[in-house]
Amino acid sequence: MITFAWILQLIFVPMLSPLCIGIIRKIKAILQNRQGAPIVQPYTDIWKLLHKDEVVSSDASWIFRYAPFVVFGVTILVGASIPLFASFLQNTLTSDLLLIVYSLALGTFFLALAGMDTGSAFGGFASSREMTVSALAEGGFILALLTISLIAGTTNLFAISNAEILHTGKLFLPVVLAFTGFCIVLLAETGRFPFDNPATHLELTMIHEAMILEYSGKRLALMEWAAANKFLIFAALGANLFFPYGIGEHPTIEAITVGIVALMLKTLGFCLGIGIIESSMAKFRFFRLPDLLITSVILSAVAIGLIQIL
């Protein structure tokens, strides 16, 4: 059963992440009075891209050629190292909070380098924007997760989602505060409103899309897929660390099923939230984004302060 759970854990994120993107797009379409593409469209897109020939810029180096594998590989690695549907899995080797944060940074690092590698002005400024946003988001990200790990007394993510105190709903206020801070980081790191507009065609306003502008074929498929994985990873972190209700605590089929359903429901919540945000508000002006990220740091800092007082 444990082996089965581990295999499921390994393929869970890449298998389901395109679905999340499809759901978000569908929700947005509905909210904007459109019919929208089918929910499975991202799968067919990836499949289509995987079967296309590629054009690679002659200015590009091996960084450009290998970055998609690193970026995608990192999301697989991280996806397998975080609690998804089962907290009974023990992983003291790679599921440390900081290791996850910095592994994701490793992906960002190569993504940004790949953006600069072809020498296009779009890729260059997109990398600059990405690094600006992610540098500032890192503080909020670490502090939000630290709040939880402080409550749970460990930085091991599986241990956190297993922690008794989080299941009992004690310390609700700090958890909610840190969660709010985390949500801001989620929007920033996954390139969502109000930070980035994944649906825009205006190259001057893009962040993520302009970084992968030069990619085509298989490599583009990997980049898109990696972005989808990253979204599901963040959704799972938010769902399972802050509110680990429903997560499978025992190695039984029922527990795993309940865990998967709970995770998908919580992820659906994230999708719904993002759909509403992206339909109902304007993207922020670039230099207002730091204010938002600082807010996330402050929220988590307050949450840490509250832990003892409560």
Partner 1 sequence: MVYDRNDEANIKAGFLYLVMTHIGTACIIVAFLLIYNFSHSFEFETMRLSISAIPSFVKNIIFILVLIGFGTKAGIIPFHIWLPSAHPAAPSHVSALMSGVMIKTGIYMMIRIFFDMFGSIPLWWGIAVLGIGSVSALLGVLYALTEHDIKRLLAYHSIENIGIILLGLGSSLIFYSLGNTTLALLGLGAALYHTLNHATFKSLLFLSAGSVINQTHTRNMEEYGGLLKYMPRTAFFFLIGSMAISALPPFNGFFSEWLTFQALMQGMSSPDVLIKSMFVLAIGALSLTGGLALACFVKAFGATFLARPRSLELAHAKDSAFPLSLAMGSLALCCLLFGIFSGYLGSIFITLGESLHLFSDVSPIINSSPDHTLTAPNGFGSVSAPVFFIFFVLVIFLVMIITKFGIYRNQKIKNGSTWDCGTDLTPRMEISATGFARSIIRIFSGVLRPSIQREIEYRDSESRYLSKKMTVNLKMNDIYQTYLYEPLKKILVSISIRTKMIQSGNLNMYVLYILIAVTTALFLLK
Partner 2 sequence: MDAKKIAQYISSQKKAKNFDTATVFQVLASEIKEITSDLRDNKHLQLKLITATDEREENGCFKLWYIFAAPTEHVFIVPYIELKNTEEFPSLMSSIEEAGNYERKIQTFFGLTPIGHFDNRPLILHENWPSDLYPLRKDFNWNTKPEESQGTYPFQKVDGEGIYEIPVGPIHAGIIEPGHFRFSVVGEEIMLLEARLGFVHKGVEKIFETVSPHEMIKLSEKISGDSSYSHSLAFSNALEQLSDTVVPKRADHLRVIYAELERLANHFGDIGAIMLDTGFSFGGSHGARLREIIIRMEERLTGSRFLRGVNICGGVTKDISSEEKNNLITDFAIITKDFSELIEIAQDSASLLNRLKGTGVLPYTIAQKQGATGVAAKAVGIAHDARVDFPYAAYGALHFDTVETEQSGDVYARFCVRIKEVYASINLITKALTALPSGPICANTKPIFKKNAIAITLVEGWRGDILYFVTTDSKGKISRVAPRDPSWVNWPLLEQSAPGNIVPDFPLINKSFNLSYTGNDL
Q: Is 124 in the site for partner 1 (CB under 8 A)?
A: yes
Q: Is 122 in the site for partner 2 (CB under 8 A)?
A: yes
Of the candidate spans 87-95, 191-199, 231-239, 241-249, the one that interacts with partner 1 by CB under 8 A turns out to be 87-95
How far does the chain reach from its first CA to its final CA, in angstroms? 40
- Taking a C-beta distance cutoff of 8 angstroms, is the pair 141, 101 a contact? yes
Binding mask 274-303 for partner 2 (x = CB under 8 A): ----xxxxxxxxxxx---------------
Q: What are the φ/ψ torsions at residue 85 (nearest 5 degrees)?
A: -130, -10
Near partner 2 in 12-41, by CB under 8 A: 28, 31-34
DSSP per-residue letters across 255-289: HHHHHHHHHHHHHHHHHHHHHHHHHHSPPPPGGGH
- Taking a C-beta distance cutoff of 8 angstroms, is the pair 150, 75 a contact? no
Judged by beta carbon, residue 102 or residue 286, the one nearer partner 2 is 286
Angstrom distances, CA of residue 231 to CA of 22, 92, 263, 267: 12, 24, 13, 10
Judged by beta carbon, residue 91 or residue 279, the one nearer partner 2 is 279
Q: How far is the CB of 74 from partner 1 (least distance, A)?
A: 8
Judged by beta carbon, residue 192 or residue 266, the one nearer partner 2 is 192
Q: How far is the CB of 74 from partner 2 (least distance, A)?
A: 27
- Taking a C-beta distance cutoff of 8 angstroms, is the pair 41, 22 a contact? yes
Residue 73 interacting partner from partner 1, partner 2, none (CB closer than 5 to 8 Å by kind): partner 1
CB-based burial, 231-264: b 16+ in 10 Å, e otherwise: bbbbbbbbbbbbbbebbbbeeeeebbebbbebbb
Near partner 1 in 238-297, by CB under 8 A: 286-287, 290, 297
Among 9, 17, 155, 267, binds partner 1 (CB under 8 A): 155
Residue 292 interacting partner from partner 2, partner 1, none (CB closer than 5 to 8 Å by kind): none
Among 5, 136, 206, 241, binds partner 1 (CB under 8 A): 136
Q: Is 39 in the site for partner 1 (CB under 8 A)?
A: no
What is the gyration radius of the CA atoms in the chain, in angstroms?
19
Nearest residue to 108 via CA among 270, 230, 285 = 230
- Residues near partner 2 (CB under 8 A) are 28, 31-34, 121-122, 124-125, 128-129, 193-194, 197, 199-205, 278-288
